[in-house]
Structure 1
Amino acid sequence: MIIGSGQGGVPLAADYAKEGRKVVVFERDALGGSCINYGCTPSKAFLAAAHGAGRARQTEKLGIHTQVNVDFPAVMERVRGIRDRFNQGVHKRLESAGVRVICAEASFVDERTVKGGDVTIQAPLVVINTGTSSLVPDLPGLAGTPYLTNRNFFDLKTLPSRLLVLGAGYIGLELGQGLARLGSETHLIVRGDRVLGQEESDVSETLAEAFKQDGIQLHFGVNAERVAYENNVFTLSLSNGDQLQGDALLVVIGRKPNTGALNVAASGIELDDKGFIKIDDQFHTTCSGVYAIGDAAKQPAFTHVSWEDYRRLKAILKGEQRNRHDRVLGYAVYTEPQVGRVGMTLEQAQKKGMNARSVVLPMSQIARAIEWGHELGFYRMVIDTDTDKILGATLVGYETAELVHVFLSLMEAGATWQLLEQSVHIHPTYGEALPSLARLLVED
């Protein structure tokens, strides 16, 4: 029995059904989880259009003068079409594998016994894959207004002329910059002193500069105190006394686990103080036979992590030696410039007591970046000076979500920085700068 049809639950269900097991999936919403329905798939289809428009405008510095006309309804119709096609693919995959799908909200009624709708099922193996959803603040005046989250953002049919974004994490930055590049006057309300506050400060500074170039207005060090909605206009009152008005309000302050309706106590499953499912290193909950994967179990909230959780758990159940931490973690932020991250930052490594150091190469010193006009950003690599192994990398620049895989593979193989330094990458490419980055260690 699998509760939730996210990117870990679906392949697990399909695999077990094809092996001849009786498999049931409970899903209260759309099949495919957040990635397909209101996460990766629609957001990246949306950003394809947004960044296409942004890049076209930026060709002025290359001597190309363009006029960009955005057909917003067509943009969003394409986004929804791709989303729906992917969703149907999940339907077909489960159906062809012989998985029984119960479209109902599931809750435990006894040990490893779940009820959904008028169906009650007990199973020896239960996997929880319910994911997370938008965290909505208890902000006076917000309830009952047509505010946006990533859940309903992709249902937009008209371009808001003015957009207010509450939150400065990766979802707010991607969608906020996206609407700005498609023509919205965009304001980012940032509680702290920088965007993307969990990353290194120069990452935040680079993105802030890019956003200013896109005409986005950044409001730092303020809290939203109340919301008013009248005549289709949002008025947001800030802690510094300012008021901002917008035709749309996007609330993206964080995520919460989808565990509230599960009644997990009926099966002896414990939650932490924030509602995430407690698991050990082998994804086992506090109830025998019940496992949890993905971000509902506080794993890093990325599709590729949830999918690898499925592979990990399947291997564990076959008796193999895997655990929830046994792969190098990489991720990306799909702003422009992109942020590609893998492993540890210098600060994280030093806090662990490692003898670490880093080297940095600005994009403005990379031939391809100069030639193409993509000079905003940098490449950074962190190494262990005791072993020469690569500990992490931060890449901020054009399509760095692709380039960061070079580091991810080297780190998975346990390689040293000398292997990268000895590599001869093709000229002129962005990837050519990676060995150049490593050669800074030789020069020192």
Structure 2
Amino acid sequence: MSVETYDLIVFGGGKAGKTLAMDQAKAGRKVALIERGLIGGSCINVACIPSKTLIRSAQVHDLAVHADDYGSPDVVTLSMPAVARRTASVVQEMVDLNLAAFLASGLDLLIGWGRFVEPRVIEVQLDNGVRRLTAGEIYLNLGTQALVPDIPGLKDAEPMTHVEALRLDSLPSHLLVLGGGYIGLELGQAFRRLGSKVTIIEAGDQIARREDPDISAALQAALSAGGVSFALGSAIVEVSGRSGQAVSVRLADGKELEGSHLLVATGRRPMTRDIGLDIAGVDLDGLGFVKADDRLRTTADGIWALGEIAGTPMFTHASLDDFRVIKCGLAGGNYTRAGRVIPYCVFTDPELARIGLSEKEAKATGIDYRLAMLSMNAVPRARTLGERGGFMKALVGDDDRILGFAMLGAQAGEVMTAVQMAMAGGLPYTALRDAIIAHPTLAEGLGLLFATVPAKTR
């Protein structure tokens, strides 16, 4: 079989990969993009975009149900098929936009999946045949998929992952969610608001375990107030039944939870199996992630890894920055992923947003800090919105720079970005404390927050 030669091959079309492929094709290089079928990547098809669309539908429904709190009592009914159609429509619009951008860039799009058959040759299985490709530069952007843990009876129960949950056109009567991380929390609250009974099962002693205990506790309290139930601190021993019909989860403490549907949200695994990376000379770590340095170079010459499979935090915006690392390297620059400060948001209600150090991390590394905290109830805009729950907290160093910020509250992600800009510019916390911020806005709370920073003790 003949081998086609390209300037570069991008294997996997996630955020970093598709951006790189289009950028280099527009620059006049011969580019092949290999994608198994999710045009635009997982974010658009099965993750960020459909989940946030569903969450918005749930939020609007919840507001309508509680409209009498705002002076507009009414009777509200839910059409789950309409919710599913709206989610699918938003996804399809994004897919169409991405496909048009691919074609306009001039890249060669191969819909299929591949594997290395020689150190620098990828064989791609297409619907209409097989092609073999090689290039001087190969970029791996393979992504991850939901991990279904090895629990007795779990796989036989045919549980949903986020992919299937986001495509439901009928409402579960009782959704059991395995995992109290960000995906489980977002989808659990969304389905509760749409009308399902929801129980979130977490083996650890707190939800959102990477967060400080006060944030975790406040978030759990907010979700509990909305009707979400929790089972914490007990491992799952066995699963029986069938998701979508009737399913039962037995816990180590003897409790047994029964539901109609089962959603697994217990982590993700890299899609690096059975594609010949050993043939290519690309080494993996013990969990199957690609070993890559700060310039995203793998152990094989001329092969780079981008996004989640390279150990980059599992956020679309982090993957996009991997593209910047590669782009800079191609231009002879020195930008790397070392020392990046990556923000993130959890789109529960209230939202959770964080950047920089948490208290837990600061204490673990012995970093001194001054703590500022502010209840969202003290922010006038939160009162007018009727969204008073949550708080802001900030860690400030001895040099008055902001070490970290977290917010649990309305539009937390938007407010956090203002803090991020101050941190990126190396500004002291007083720049936000003394800024003239428009009233009444949620960001106005930053001035109130930083006014509470304790004085230096030395």
TM bucket by the smaller chain?
A: over 0.9
Separation (CA, whole Å) in 1 of partners of 2:75 and 2:95: 35
Quote the residue 1:122 is aligned against: 134
Cα distance, 1:307 vs structure 2: 1.0
Quote the residue 2:439 is aligned against: 427
Separation (CA, whole Å) in 1 of partners of 2:102 and 2:442: 41
Quote the residue 1:391 is aligned against: 403
Match for 2:228: what amino acid?
A: I
The sequence identity of aligned pairs, in percent, is 34
Cα distance, 1:285 vs structure 2: 0.4
Q: 2:284 aligns with which of 271, 294, 305?
A: 271
Quote the residue 1:233 is aligned against: 246
After TM superposition, what 4+ stretches of structure 1 lie above 4 angstroms from structure 2?
58-64
Does 2:195 correspond to 1:183? yes
Deviations 1:289-316 (A, max 9, x none): 1101101111000001111111221111
Does 2:305 correspond to 1:297? no
Separation (CA, whole Å) in 2 of partners of 1:103 and 1:16: 19
Which secondary structure does the structure 1 equivalent of 2:374 belong to? strand
Separation (CA, whole Å) in 1 of partners of 2:102 and 2:70: 49
Query: Map of 1:58-77 to 2, 5 A cutoff?
Result: 58-62=66-70, 64-77=72-85
Quote the residue 1:440 is aligned against: 452
Match for 1:416: what amino acid?
A: P
Separation (CA, whole Å) in 2 of partners of 1:66 and 1:342: 40
Task: Calculate the aligned-residue CA RMSD, in Å.
Answer: 1.6
Cα distance, 1:416 vs structure 2: 0.8
Match for 1:426: what amino acid?
A: A
TM-score w.r.t. the length of structure 1 is 0.96
TM-score w.r.t. the length of structure 2 is 0.93
Does the CA contact (< 8 Å) of 1:106 and 1:261 recur in 2?
A: no
Which secondary structure does the structure 2 equivalent of 1:403 belong to? helix
Match for 2:19: what amino acid?
A: P
Quote the residue 1:97 is aligned against: 105
Quote the residue 1:194 is aligned against: 206
Deviations 1:222-271 (A, max 9, x none): 22222222592112222222222212110010011111122211111110
Quote the residue 1:23 is aligned against: 31
Cα distance, 1:59 vs structure 2: 4.7
Which secondary structure does the structure 1 equivalent of 2:166 belong to? helix
Q: 2:159 aligns with which of 140, 147, 160?
A: 147
Structure 1, unpaired ranges of 5+: none
Separation (CA, whole Å) in 1 of partners of 2:76 and 2:193: 10
Does the CA contact (< 8 Å) of 1:80 and 1:154 recur in 2?
A: no
Does 2:344 correspond to 1:337? no
Q: 1:86 aligns with which of 91, 94, 98?
A: 94
Deviations 1:412-433 (A, max 9, x none): 1111101111101122221111
Does the CA contact (< 8 Å) of 1:2 and 1:9 recur in 2?
A: yes
Separation (CA, whole Å) in 1 of partners of 2:249 and 2:107: 47
Separation (CA, whole Å) in 2 of partners of 1:140 and 1:213: 33
Cα distance, 1:393 vs structure 2: 0.2
Separation (CA, whole Å) in 1 of partners of 2:44 and 2:35: 14
Does 2:174 correspond to 1:162? yes
Separation (CA, whole Å) in 1 of partners of 2:339 and 2:209: 26
Separation (CA, whole Å) in 2 of partners of 1:208 and 1:60: 25
Deviations 1:35-93 (A, max 9, x none): 01111110011011111122334455455544332111101111011111211222211
Match for 1:101: what amino acid?
A: L
Quote the residue 1:206 is aligned against: 218
Residues 353 and 232 (structure 1 numbering): CA distance in 2 closer, same or farther, change over 3 Å?
closer
Quote the residue 1:418 is aligned against: 430
Which is worse superposed, 110-119 or 36-45?
Answer: 110-119
Q: 1:380 aligns with which of 393, 401, 410?
A: 393
Cα distance, 1:6 vs structure 2: 0.4
Separation (CA, whole Å) in 2 of partners of 1:301 and 1:274: 15
Cα distance, 1:150 vs structure 2: 1.1
Separation (CA, whole Å) in 1 of partners of 2:70 and 2:390: 18
Does the CA contact (< 8 Å) of 1:328 and 1:408 recur in 2?
A: no
Cα distance, 1:142 vs structure 2: 2.2
Quote the residue 2:118 is aligned against: 110
Does the CA contact (< 8 Å) of 1:383 and 1:390 recur in 2?
A: yes
Does the CA contact (< 8 Å) of 1:112 and 1:123 recur in 2?
A: yes
Which is worse superposed, 61-70 or 75-84?
Answer: 61-70
